[in-house]
Amino acid sequence: MHLAAPAIILAVRAHGEHGAVVRGLTPDHGVQAGYVRGGRSRALRPVLQPANMVLGEWRARTEDQLPALTVELVHSRAPLHAEPLPAAALEWLTALTGAALPEGQPYPQIHAALAAMLDAVEAAPAARGWAGAMARYELLLLGQLGFGLDLDRCVVTGSGADIAFVSPKSGGAVSRAAAVGYEDRLLPLPAFLRKGGEPDWADVFAGLAITGRFLARNVLVDRRADALAARERLVDRLKRAVA
């Protein structure tokens, strides 16, 4: 096995005294794991930071063997890890992607969207420019993994008009008319999740409430649920930042 590809680092785990197991998301080969010799050294620690862009080369004698991985830094986002809000965003985005995606399966749309999200966080550390996009990224990931939400037509009437809510059970959209009397049992659906545009903060948090519910129910289950702690920290920081 020999693969050379650009990758976004998703996770780094210490292995042995000096090495590290690194998982990276490549454009055409999905998540790839590899052992980096000396990955905990002073020279490599700044390179092996989640959200950094690297050029990786994976080599293994058999398909069952954990490949040896060498990396060359392409773009560092290490300075953002010193800023609380951007650091929380990078932690969540990489933790979510690393926990949700199976290894070795290509998800080019997710790779492109994650790269764009990381660029947005880097360009606007204050979050106004990327908080809504993060909800859309979570929605994309749900869809790519087979848990997409049907937000185009009301599950009760079949109409695409005046969609205003989401069923927390089915994930289907509900129109304002069909929701009468049941509003407190449904999740408000902000328009930007369906049509794009720039949401206000109330809509951002409404969107995150929807995607967070279905990520926790359908994707981040069992041992992968640990990743949700990173999301809780980020949402808490966002709420404090706009209070």
234 CB neighbour count, 10 Å cutoff: 24
pLDDT at residue number 40: 87
Pair 37, 63 in one domain: yes
The CATH number of whichever domain residue 71 belongs to comes to 2.40.50.140
Pair 32, 96 in one domain: no
Handedness of CA 230, 236, 239, 243 (dihedral sign): negative
pLDDT at residue number 48: 95
The closest of 196, 228, 223 to 212, measured between CA atoms, is: 228
Q: Which two tokens stand for residue 104?
A: 């070795």
CA distance 64 to 57: 17
Pair 58, 175 in one domain: no
pLDDT at residue number 63: 79
52 CB neighbour count, 10 Å cutoff: 24
Pair 202, 137 in one domain: yes
Of 39, 61, 76, the one marking the end of a domain is: 76
pLDDT at residue number 243: 78
Tell me the per-residue pLDDT of 82-100, one tens digit each, with 9 for 90 and over.
999 999 999 999 999 999 9
Pair 154, 51 in one domain: no
Pair 61, 90 in one domain: no
Half-sphere exposure of 99 (CA within 13 A, CB side): 24
Q: Domain range holding 17?
A: 2-76
pLDDT at residue number 166: 97
C-alpha distances in angstroms, 201 versus 121, 125, 190, 235? 16, 16, 11, 12
Q: Quickly list DSSP for the chain.
A: -EEEEEEEEEEEEEETTTEEEEEEEETTTEEEEEEETTTTSTTTTTTS-TT-EEEEEEE-SSTTSPPEEEEEEEE--GGGGGSHHHHHHHHHHHHHHHHHSPBT---HHHHHHHHHHHHHHHH-TTSTTTHHHHHHHHHHHHHHTT---EEEEETTT---SSEEEE-TTT-EEEETTTTTTTGGGSEE--THHHH-S---HHHHHHHHHHHHHHIIIIIS-GGGGGGHHHHHHHHHHHHHHH-
> Edge-to-edge strand order for the sheet containing 172-175?
150-154, 172-175, 163-166, 187-188
The closest of 229, 238, 241 to 91, measured between CA atoms, is: 229
pLDDT at residue number 12: 95
pLDDT at residue number 1: 82
Q: Which two tokens stand for residue 64?
A: 């069952």
Pair 131, 211 in one domain: yes
Pair 56, 175 in one domain: no
Q: What is the pTM of this model?
A: 0.94
CA distance 134 to 156: 29
CA distance 213 to 73: 36
Residues (pLDDT < 70) of the chain are: none
pLDDT at residue number 64: 81
Give the count of domains, the chain.
2
pLDDT at residue number 177: 94
